[in-house]
Amino acid sequence: MAATTPRVLRLLALLQDRAYTGRELADRLEITERTVRNDISRLRELGYPVHAERGAIGGYRLGRGATMPPLLLDDEEAVAVALSIAVAHDGSLAVSDIGDQLTRALRKIEQILPKRLQRKVSALRDATEIGPATTGSREPDAPVAAGILTTLADAVRRTTAVTVETADGTAELEPYRLINWQRRWYLVAYSMRTHDWTALPAAGIARAEAGARVFAPRTLPHDDLVAFVMRHIASTGWRVHARVTVLESAETVIARINPAVGVVEPVDEHSCVLLTGADAMETIAIYLSMLMMDFRVDGPPELVAHLRTLARRYTESVAG
């Protein structure tokens, strides 16, 4: 029979998952039902609100209490919580008055994490930069498996090459930085297949495998890797793209838009070309309306047709 303290902790871990009958708990812990009852009493003395219900679907379950007792997490849960807090603390969670609480919570979790798990959390936090805050329309989330992120972050930390599998095939990359922007992840890396820099959407990585080759750091493509990713997204990172002539100076437009909305190329003192994109044509139309400037769409034809439809609807909405 397991010693009392480890056994009670195992019992607590089970009850945090779902409700169990006394017989189920006894079988799982290899003890008697009487010992289960005694251990339940110990948990209650420690402040855990364990409820007991009779009947065919009854059993023991962990309820809500008046205070917050200690919480048991398995390895994957602990890493998930720590990573979420770390990313939120860097600014991706738009809540203004919880910074101190996040810092304290992260410090408590990291203090008790085993070193093998602590390295995963620290590597991802140290390898990540947060993109600029945005207002208005936001693109749909593009979730990434935690295992892929931690593999990439560890490769960044150790400056080792990583092999990734995407829709374009398999490639060996030299990873330099992870950028988190609008709840999306991008990997800044040097591709050994194209021999060029890339800002790879991490959501498109089906598999990431750390290699043994240690690489010497190259000269970065930009002093600001967040700006590099923003420009890459604007020019190549969307499903649909558009070319728009804006009847204002390039300086005026650059000051108005988010870096990821588009690349601005000056034409003359009073006009410039905006190369922009999004995951849907409707989103580009929203971006253009938020410019609050006169513009002319050069392409694609689908965007021109969509704007004509919007113009008709807006006109008819105020007619008469």
Q: What is the CATH number of the domain that holds 313?
A: 3.30.70
Least confident of 18-27, 28-37, 168-177, 235-244: 235-244
Least confident of 39-43, 77-81, 187-191, 295-299: 77-81
Query: Do residues 251 and 311 share a domain?
Result: yes
pLDDT of residue 309: 95
Output b/e per residue, 213-249; b: 16+ Cβ within 10 A.
eebeeeeebeeebbebbbbbbbeebbebbbbbebebb
pLDDT of residue 307: 95
Query: Do residues 313 and 242 share a domain?
Result: yes
Angle at Cα 248 formed by Cα 243 and Cα 251, nearest 5°?
A: 95
Query: Do residues 50 and 85 share a domain?
Result: no
Better-scored residue on pLDDT, 207 or 96: 207
Better-scored residue on pLDDT, 57 or 216: 216
| Element at 174 (helix H, strand E) | strand 169-181
Q: Does 139 map to a domain?
A: no
The answer to whether residue 22 scores a pLDDT higher than 70 is yes
Least confident of 70-79, 206-215, 280-289: 70-79
Q: How confident is the model at residue 137 (pLDDT cuts 50, 70, 90)?
A: very low
**Mean predicted confidence (pLDDT) in 140-164:** 89
CA–CA separation, 33 and 48 (whole Å): 19
Query: Do residues 313 and 243 share a domain?
Result: yes
pLDDT of residue 18: 83
CA–CA separation, 295 and 247 (whole Å): 6
pTM: 0.62
Q: How confident is the model at residue 116 (pLDDT cuts 50, 70, 90)?
A: confident
**Residue type at 245?**
T
pLDDT of residue 53: 82
Count of H-run helices and E-run strands, the chain: 11, 12
Q: Could you tell me if 259 and 132 are in contact, meaning their C-beta atoms sit under 8 angstroms apart?
A: yes
Q: Could you tell me if 175 and 124 are in contact, meaning their C-beta atoms sit under 8 angstroms apart?
A: no
Q: Which residue range(s) make up the domain with 36?
A: 4-62
Domain final residue, candidates 62, 83, 102: 62
**Mean predicted confidence (pLDDT) in 218-230:** 90
Q: How confident is the model at residue 67 (pLDDT cuts 50, 70, 90)?
A: low
The answer to whether residue 30 scores a pLDDT higher than 50 is yes
Domain final residue, candidates 28, 62, 96: 62
Burial class (CB in 10 A: 0-12, 13-18, 19+), 154: buried
Q: Could you tell me if 232 and 221 are in contact, meaning their C-beta atoms sit under 8 angstroms apart?
A: no
Query: Do residues 282 and 243 share a domain?
Result: yes
Query: Do residues 298 and 273 share a domain?
Result: yes
Query: Do residues 255 and 312 share a domain?
Result: yes
Query: Do residues 17 and 84 share a domain?
Result: no
**Mean predicted confidence (pLDDT) in 169-196:** 93
Q: Does 271 map to a domain?
A: yes
pLDDT of residue 163: 97
Query: Do residues 86 and 119 share a domain?
Result: yes
The neighbour count for residue 162, using CB atoms within 10 Å, is 24
Q: Does 93 map to a domain?
A: yes
The partner residues of 210 in beta bridges, in order of sequence, read 162
**Start-to-end C-alpha separation, the chain:** 85
Two tokens at 250? 């390039």
Q: How many residues does this entry show for the chain?
A: 320
Q: Does 143 map to a domain?
A: no
Q: Could you tell me if 124 and 222 are in contact, meaning their C-beta atoms sit under 8 angstroms apart?
A: no
- Give me the chain's average pLDDT, please: 84
Q: Does 24 map to a domain?
A: yes
Q: Does 262 map to a domain?
A: yes
Q: How confident is the model at residue 94 (pLDDT cuts 50, 70, 90)?
A: very low
Q: Does 98 map to a domain?
A: yes
Q: What is the CATH number of the domain that holds 37?
A: 1.10.10.10
Q: Where are the alpha helices (DSSP H) in the chain?
A: 4-15, 22-29, 33-45, 75-87, 99-112, 115-127, 146-158, 225-236, 250-256, 281-291, 301-317
Better-scored residue on pLDDT, 219 or 55: 219
Q: Does 115 map to a domain?
A: yes
Number of domains in the chain: 3
Domain final residue, candidates 36, 62, 88: 62
Query: Do residues 52 and 94 share a domain?
Result: no
